Structure formats: C-alpha cells, structure tokens
C-alpha cells in the first residue's frame, strides 16, 4: 500500500479535529447574484447574511457600469500600480473617495486596494515603518477584524512594534498605557463598526485620546462606509469628526456593492504608503472596470436613491430593535444592519442555522475564531432590499425554532 506522506496525514488529522470540535466550515455554492433571495446548492433561500447593506450588488446601473468599464478598459490591469497597472479609472475613483472624507481629514488623499484585508495590512505595516524598528507602539481593540489582527502581527514581526490590546468599551486601560508610552510613534487601531457585534466604536473619545497622546488613529469603517452619515460617507460624517490624525479605511465590497477598499489620510501618509506599503506595491492592480463601476456606486451612495436606501435600512433596524423581545435569545444592542443573536455553543449555533435552512433561510452559524469561544451566533444582516414583511417573517421563523429547541431540550 502507498504510504501517506506526513504533511497529508497531518492535514487529514487536523480536519478531523476541526470536525470533532464542530469548527469545520463548509463552502456553499450560489448560482444567483448576491441579493435577498439566493439559489444556494440548488435551493432558493431568503438571505440575511451578506454585507450588501444597500442592496447594490445586483443593481442594474452597476452591472451596466461594470460592462461599460470592461468595454473601455478590458478585463485585466496587467500589473501592479507602480509598473503599468494604474489606470485613469483608478485615479478618478481615488479622487472621488478623497472628496467623501475631505471635510473630516485635511489634505485628504485616497489609495485604492483590491481588498480590505490588504488595505489593513498595508496601512498598519506601512505606517509603523515611519519609525525606526522598535520605536513604535500599536494599540488595537481586542475585537478588531482578523485583517487588523494580522496587520498588527506582521507589523510587530517586521518592525518590532510593541502591541497592546484594549477593550473598546473600557478606554481607561488604553489611556493608562498611552500615558506611560514614550515611543515616538503610536498607532491606535479600531473597527468603526464591529463586524460581529454591530456596535459602533466610541470614535469621538478615541479621536480626543489620539490628539492628547500624540497618536495616529486608524479607523476601519468597513461596515460604516455607505451606511453611516447623511450622505453615506461613513462614521466620520455620522459623528461630525475632523482630525489630521485619522487614517480612514473603507471597503467597497460591502455597502458599495462591488469589490475593493481604500485608505484615506493626509496626502503625505498616502505618499509614504505608495512608497513603502508592500501589499500595495507587490500586488496586481484591480481591473480598472471595477474602479469604473465603483464610481457609479459612489454616485448612487450620495444620491437621493442612496438616501432612501439608508432610510429603508434604518426602518428595518428600528423595527428589529422595537421587536427584539420576540425571542429570549441574547441579542447585542446594535444600531447598524448587523444584528447578532448569540447562541453560545457551536452545537447550538449549528443546530439553529440548520433549522433556519430547512425553513428557507440562509444565515450561517458564526463560530470561533471569528467570534470569542462560547459566543457562537447567528450574524443577521439587513439589506435595503428587505421589507418590514421580510423581517417579520424571519422573526416568526426564529420564534418557531426557539420553541422547538426549548421543547427538545426540555426547558
């Protein structure tokens, strides 16, 4: 019999281990556009799990803009931005993105990336290189997104930056640590909207802290861009914040409905990242057709249509908040389209997600390491394409499932 080489047997054993701990994840295949209904593994399901908050991912004008972009610029960029991949569509997009933050960041300039993951890696590792090795500190919120965690780890390994984790609802420890910090460069990093809980960071207090202790403040507004603020410009607009210390990261594959991300900051920081941000320098530029489609998306976000989509989203959020007692399951107080229902164990979360699936709903169980151990959950998300009736129907389904689970467990 042929002997299995050791790496392969390790892979097999580790996968079995994940299965045993109910932590194995499964890919599901959709055959339809991202919208509130999806054809998943050949079944039609109601979806409450995407980040397409404004319902733009399947918008006819965006589809047309992408097709027009492909006709104008082809389908590939051919190389990284600094070689030959930087197209007029990228440039126009960056200029427009900068105008979204220009009232909040002086001399705002934006830099486009193919994903938010890369934007966070580039921003954190790149900015830390402004200081000599060992002369920077990073302060990162414990519940920040994985891309921030990885950016912080990489910056710490590459530049010997010291790393401090803080609780974003308890800023005293952050302040105490900053008081003692004598390093020339300090970077505070925070999710604007926490991706798994939906709560919003105490951004005003953090800006004050950054000012007082001479730190930069990186805000990852992946889930706020397009959603927060009267014009959809994001968290800085919503809370009327202006500071030269802010490094703003926004993503474009969520509310903007397409793909990509950007960093917006004072022009010298962006120039530095073009020179030193390795994930920017050593990666092929996003196809310009995507940037062209994104220009259309930004126009919709700022338009009356964008406003009415945000209005609809806020109606859904208010409806959910007012009816939250519909079930006894633990919820997180959130005023964003991310509304988690905490189920605790992996087994509970998987069982409820399965029952939902049987009732025609697609809301996967979110388990560690995406969320802390013991807080497995349903991460319910709303889209402006949902109606109040859709929400009511989901609540009834959840009520039925809760009763069924209680009966089965005898409680």
Ligand X SMILES: Cc1ncc(COP(=O)(O)O)c(C=O)c1O
Nearer to ligand X, 8 or 27 (CB): 27
The single residue among 191, 197, 237, 302 that binds ligand X, judged by CB under 6 A, is 191
Query: 242 to 261, contacts with ligand X by CB under 6 A?
Result: 251, 253, 261
Task: Determine the Cα–Cα distance for residues 105 and 249; give it in Å rounded to an integer.
Answer: 12
Look up residue 82 and give its two tokens.
């600094």
Residue 154's φ and ψ, nearest 5 degrees, are -65, -40
Nearer to ligand X, 187 or 401 (CB): 187
Tally of CB atoms within 10 A around 15: 11
Among 86, 254, 331, 386, the active-site one is: 254
CB 183 within 8 A of CB 214: no
The single residue among 197, 220, 237, 302 that binds ligand X, judged by CB under 6 A, is 220
The single residue among 149, 222, 236, 338 that binds ligand X, judged by CB under 6 A, is 222
Query: 38 to 57, contacts with ligand X by CB under 6 A?
Result: none
Stretch that binds ligand X, among 63-71, 112-120, 161-169, 267-275 (CB under 6 A): 112-120
Strand ranges (E), 68-181: 108-113, 136-141, 162-166
The single residue among 50, 115, 238, 346 that binds ligand X, judged by CB under 6 A, is 115
Minimum CB separation of residue 71 from ligand X in Å reads 26
Task: Determine the Cα–Cα distance for residues 148 and 296; give it in Å rounded to an integer.
Answer: 28
Minimum CB separation of residue 111 from ligand X in Å reads 14
Task: Determine the Cα–Cα distance for residues 124 and 185; give it in Å rounded to an integer.
Answer: 12
- The answer to the question of residue 262 lying near ligand X (CB under 6 A) is no
Number of residues that bind ligand X (CB under 6 A): 13
Nearer to ligand X, 147 or 339 (CB): 147
Minimum CB separation of residue 192 from ligand X in Å reads 8
Q: Lay out the site mask for ligand X across 7-36 (x = CB under 6 A, - = otherwise).
A: ------------------------------
Tally of CB atoms within 10 A around 6: 8
The single residue among 59, 145, 233, 379 that binds ligand X, judged by CB under 6 A, is 145
The single residue among 47, 50, 87, 147 that binds ligand X, judged by CB under 6 A, is 147
Residue 326 sits at the vertex; the CA angle it makes with 324 and 328, to the nearest 5 degrees, is 90
CB 349 within 8 A of CB 377: yes
Contacts of 207 (CB under 8 A, 6+ apart): 217, 241, 243, 245, 246
- 276 flagged as catalytic: no
Helix (H) or strand (E) holding 397: helix 388-409
- 223 flagged as catalytic: yes
- Residue with the closest Cβ to ligand X? 116
CB 231 within 8 A of CB 99: no
Give the count of alpha carbons within 13 A of 396, CB side only. Answer: 8
- 319 flagged as catalytic: no
Helix (H) or strand (E) holding 96: helix 88-101
The binding site for ligand X (CB under 6 A) comprises 115-117, 120, 145, 147, 191, 195, 220, 222, 251, 253, 261
- List residues with catalytic annotation: 195, 223, 254
């Amino acid at each position: 019999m042929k002997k299995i080489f050791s790496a392969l047997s390790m892979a097999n054993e580790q996968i079995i281990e994940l299965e045993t701990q109910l932590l194995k994840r499964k890919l599901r295949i959709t055959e339809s556009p991202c919208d509130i209904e999806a054809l998943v593994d050949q079944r039609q399901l109601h979806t409450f799990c995407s980040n397409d908050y404004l319902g733009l991912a399947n918008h006819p004008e965006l589809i047309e803009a992408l097709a027009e972009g492909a006709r104008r610029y082809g389908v590939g960029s051919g190389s990284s931005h600094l070689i030959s991949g930087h197209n007029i569509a990228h440039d126009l997009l960056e200029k427009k993105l900068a105008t979204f933050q220009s009232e909040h960041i002086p001399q705002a300039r934006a830099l486009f990336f193919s994903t938010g993951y890369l934007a966070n890696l580039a921003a954190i590792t790149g900015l830390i290189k402004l200081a000599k090795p060992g002369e920077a500190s990073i302060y990162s919120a414990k519940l920040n997104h994985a891309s921030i965690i990885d950016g912080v780890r990489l910056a710490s390994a590459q530049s010997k930056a010291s790393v401090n984790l803080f609780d974003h609802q308890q800023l005293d420890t952050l302040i105490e640590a900053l008081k003692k910090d004598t390093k020339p460069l300090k970077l505070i990093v925070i999710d604007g909207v926490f991706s798994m809980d939906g709560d919003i960071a105490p951004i005003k207090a953090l800006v004050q802290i950054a000012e007082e202790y001479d730190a930069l403040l990186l805000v990852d507004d992946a889930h706020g861009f397009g959603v927060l603020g009267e014009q959809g410009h994001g968290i800085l607009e919503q809370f009327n914040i202006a500071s030269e210390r802010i490094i703003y990261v926004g993503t474009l594959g969520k509310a903007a409905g397409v793909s990509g991300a950007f960093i917006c900051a004072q022009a010298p920081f962006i120039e530095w990242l073009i020179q030193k941000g390795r994930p920017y320098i050593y990666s092929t530029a996003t196809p310009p057709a995507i940037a062209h489609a994104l220009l259309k998306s930004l126009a919709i976000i700022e338009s009356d249509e964008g406003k009415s989509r945000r209005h609809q989203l806020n109606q859904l959020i208010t409806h959910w908040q007012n009816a939250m007692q519909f079930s006894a399951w633990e919820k997180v107080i959130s005023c964003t389209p991310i509304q988690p229902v905490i189920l605790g164990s992996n087994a509970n979360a998987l069982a409820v997600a399965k029952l939902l699936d049987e009732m025609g709903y697609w809301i996967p169980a979110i388990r560690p390491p995406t969320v802390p151990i013991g807080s497995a959950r349903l991460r319910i998300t709303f889209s402006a394409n949902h109606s109040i009736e859709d929400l009511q129907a989901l609540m009834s389904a959840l009520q039925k499932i809760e009763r069924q689970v209680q009966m089965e467990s005898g409680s």
